[in-house]
Amino acid sequence: MERFDRLRGAVPARPHDARAIAALAANPGCARRAVMDAAGVDKDATATHLGFPAPFGQSPFAITRGNAFEALVKDSGCAELLRLLRELLGLPIPLAAYTDLGDIGGNPSAHLRHAHTLKLIDRAARDDDEAGTLYDHPLLRLEIAGHTSYLEPDVVAFRLAGRFHIVEIKSFAIVDGQAEPDKVAAAARQAAVYVLALRTMLAELGHDPARVSHEVVLVCPENFANRPAGTLLDVRRELAVLRRQLSRMARVGAIVDGLPEELTFDLAPDADGVPTRPVPELREAVRTVGARYAPECLSTCDLCFFCRDEAAAGGSTELLGRQVRDALGGVATVSEALGLADGSLTPGEGQEEIARLLRLADRIYAEAG
Amino acid sequence: MSERLDALEERINALRAEVRRAVRARDGALARSLRAELRGVERAWDQALADQEPPARETPSASEPDEAPRAGAAREPGALVPVREQVHQALTILGVPASAKMIVAVHGALRAGSLRGTQLASLRRDEERSFRSSPFARPYYLCAALTDRLSASRGLLTVSTWPLERRAIGPLSPRVDFLTTAIRVAEHILRLEEAGEPTPSGAERLLSRLAYNVPGVPVAPDAPPRPAMVVKAARAELEVHAGADADARARIADRARARLGDAERLFGGTILSLAREEAS
């Protein structure tokens, strides 16, 4: 733990939210992200200080639209959501109870709200008939690399036939049964975080964690209207990735042990919070931990521009996306691949096959003119 | 001047009777033109009445300066009434705790009002301040709905003259109140129809929006749902929830009576009283 404190410097650890946790699962191979997240480093501030501010955070318009759509779905005791659940899962008519776990008067602490959530979920898990069906704003908790993070979910959990389901409300449209795959994937990853947190909570309460369904209900606007429609999403794969990633973070010590003892990402902020650490020094420190850049990082990681710049400077094949990188297994840089293709470079051991394919591709391009 | 008003009123009455006959005879084109004429005469009547009023009394709505420019064409019926009065009207139509959004929608659709959500933002706080400085000085207060923890429910408005049972929010109450809202809106439209009044298009839109989430209402594309069907379907679901909801609400109301003071009973308990509740 002291090691992490030294890595982070003299600032409090940054709490994780579901979005950040989901992003972790998006690129499990990245040691840089794993170490910095485990230490609770403020990656945004680091990136800004390095001169690569992330284009990050949602646009205010997207947030407003998301909130408006969510309000529409949850209006009048989740009237729209009840209709969807009745159509989609055959929720019986008498099950219409709605409890807002976030609404306990004034603005109480996370701890109090979590206790309230625990109490009600426990009652619901005991299959008390009066315990209700829909639970809005449950405050869940997840342990990440030794830190306990509260997840502030805009999510509804509901109970049907003794099983809990998570409802994830997103404002991207499903047009003609199709939605943008990466947005659905991001929603699934985020929902998986909530499923995992709710399972953890049930396990803490001494119930069977498997009672939280791995099928989440995704609610999105349908076609070009603002009318909500629901689909079931299987998040088993995302759950497995997330679990593996979280256990890796718990074991991130192994990566950290391989790092130099004096390494720190401390920005050395002065009294006004302005970072005073020399930029070249910080750059060296960040580079000490290897990154695995992929174009997908641009939508999930604060450090993306820094890593992209690094990958571009090294001519790395990672810039071209995961598929290309995997297809060019064993060839690290773009110039190396080009050299193999035009025959100016002799393939090393194990590179013969990929070199043959590259030369073939080169010949085809040459013939095509 | 008052003779002119009398003449206009006679003309309005005659036109209304003609509209009714045309509607009964299913002569749509005639009914439309008669309605247009009726609206014209009503505007003239409004204007004539406004001319009679002394100018000082014309703008009692000083707190709503935005209303003034729009009042030129045809004064909106709600514009002369204070915001709290308009909210009270909408809540009286609904008869259940409602969110600011629903109040604005209902008032806009059924009373042709021009309430805006932002006008309601500080309403509850203002009412609470007024109550605390001089309790029970007003005939009614717009106040909070009470959750099962006896705190103010987020975003819901009620009227202080309602029984506590109606102002309490149990787990099933949001659904029950939603169904009641649908019934009240449908009944209001039915009453308009019976009186031979045209249904405002806003009211039809509101009703179809509500009816969409009531199970068992036949949905026809392009046609608004029939109010009578909405009432029937909503009553059917309401029957399922009514008993359990009434019990839960009565329990909350009893606790509120036993534990909360006057002001807290109207505007919700504080964290401190919640903590006491937890401890007991």
Q: Phi-psi region for residue A263, left (φ > 0), alpha (ψ -120 to 50) or beta?
A: beta
Is residue B251 within 8 Å of residue B259, measured between CB atoms?
no
Q: Are residues B215 and A94, on separate chains, in Cβ contact within 8 Å?
A: no
Dihedral sign for Cα atoms in the order B242, B246, B248, B249: positive
ipTM rounded to 2 decimals: 0.71
Q: Are residues B171 and A98, on separate chains, in Cβ contact within 8 Å?
A: yes
Here the tokens at position B201 are 């298009």
Task: Name the minimum distance, in Å, from the CA of A174 to any CA of chain B.
Answer: 20
* Tens digit of each residue's pLDDT (9 = 90 or more) over B82-99: 888 888 988 998 999 999
Give the C-alpha separation, A275 to A263, whole Å: 17
CB count in 10 Å sphere of residue A268 = 15
Q: Report which residue type is found at A139.
A: L
- Whether residue A103 lies within 8 A of chain B, CB to CB, comes out as yes
Q: Which pLDDT value is given to residue A276?
A: 82
Q: Determine which of A103, A134, A154, A156 to mutate to test the interface with B (most B C-beta atoms within 10 Å).
A: A103
Q: Does residue B183 carry a pLDDT above 90?
A: yes
Give the C-alpha separation, A338 to A254, whole Å: 36
Task: Name the minimum distance, in Å, from the CA of B78 to any CA of chain A.
Answer: 25
Q: Are residues B102 and A78, on separate chains, in Cβ contact within 8 Å?
A: no
Q: Determine which of A70, A75, A76 to mutate to test the interface with B (most B C-beta atoms within 10 Å).
A: A76
Dihedral sign for Cα atoms in the order A320, A325, A331, A332: positive
Distances (CA, A) of A124 to A118, A119, A163, A208, B248: 10, 9, 10, 13, 17
Chain A residues touching residue B268 (CB < 8 angstroms):
105
Q: Does residue B73 carry a pLDDT above 70?
A: no
Q: Does residue B2 carry a pLDDT above 70?
A: no
- Over residues B105-134, the mean pLDDT reads 82
pLDDT bin (cut points 50, 70, 90) of residue B69 is very low
Question: Around A229, how many Cα atoms within 13 Å sit in the side-chain half-sphere?
Answer: 15
Chain A residues touching residue B177 (CB < 8 angstroms):
76-77
pLDDT tens sequence for chain A (369 residues): 677 778 887 777 777 777 777 777 677 778 888 788 878 788 888 888 888 887 666 677 888 888 888 888 888 888 888 888 888 888 888 888 888 877 666 666 777 788 888 888 888 888 766 667 888 888 888 877 666 777 866 677 888 777 888 888 888 888 888 888 888 888 888 888 889 989 988 898 888 888 888 899 999 998 888 888 888 889 888 888 888 878 777 667 777 777 887 888 888 877 777 888 888 888 888 888 888 888 878 777 888 888 888 888 888 877 787 778 777 777 778 888 888 888 887 877 777 888 888 888 888 988 887
Residue ranges of B 92-111 with Cβ closer than 8 A to chain A: 99, 101-102
pLDDT bin (cut points 50, 70, 90) of residue B79 is low
Q: Are residues B215 and A86, on separate chains, in Cβ contact within 8 Å?
A: yes
Select from B203, B216, B211, B16 the least CA-distant residue to B110. Answer: B203
Chain A residues touching residue B264 (CB < 8 angstroms):
none
- Whether residue A124 lies within 8 A of chain B, CB to CB, comes out as no
Q: Are residues B171 and A106, on separate chains, in Cβ contact within 8 Å?
A: no
Domains and their CATH numbers in chain A: 2-57+260-327 (no CATH), 60-245 (3.90.320)
Q: Are residues B237 and A86, on separate chains, in Cβ contact within 8 Å?
A: no
Chain A residues touching residue B147 (CB < 8 angstroms):
100, 103-105
Q: What angle do CA B82, B86, B89 make, to 5 degrees?
A: 140
- Whether residue A122 lies within 8 A of chain B, CB to CB, comes out as no
Q: What average pLDDT does the structure give for chain B? A: 80
Nearest chain A residue to B240 by CA: give it.
A94
Q: Are residues B151 and A75, on separate chains, in Cβ contact within 8 Å?
A: no
Helix axes of B173-194 and B227-259: crossing angle, nearest 10 degrees: 130
Q: Are residues B171 and A99, on separate chains, in Cβ contact within 8 Å?
A: yes
Give the C-alpha separation, B234 to A354, whole Å: 68
Q: Which pLDDT value is given to residue B53?
A: 63
- Whether residue B276 lies within 8 A of chain A, CB to CB, comes out as no
Q: Are residues B213 and A82, on separate chains, in Cβ contact within 8 Å?
A: yes
| Strands B152-159 and B142-146, bridge-based pairing | antiparallel
Is residue A20 within 8 Å of residue A300, measured between CB atoms?
no
Based on C-alpha coordinates, what's the Rg of chain B?
Answer: 22
Task: Name the minimum distance, in Å, from the CA of B264 to any CA of chain A.
Answer: 12
- Whether residue B78 lies within 8 A of chain A, CB to CB, comes out as no
Eight-state DSSP code of residue A272: T
- Whether residue B274 lies within 8 A of chain A, CB to CB, comes out as yes
* Tens digit of each residue's pLDDT (9 = 90 or more) over B201-232: 888 888 988 888 888 887 777 777 888 889 99
Q: Are residues B171 and A104, on separate chains, in Cβ contact within 8 Å?
A: no
Nearest chain A residue to B182 by CA: give it.
A76
Q: Which pLDDT value is given to residue B116?
A: 80
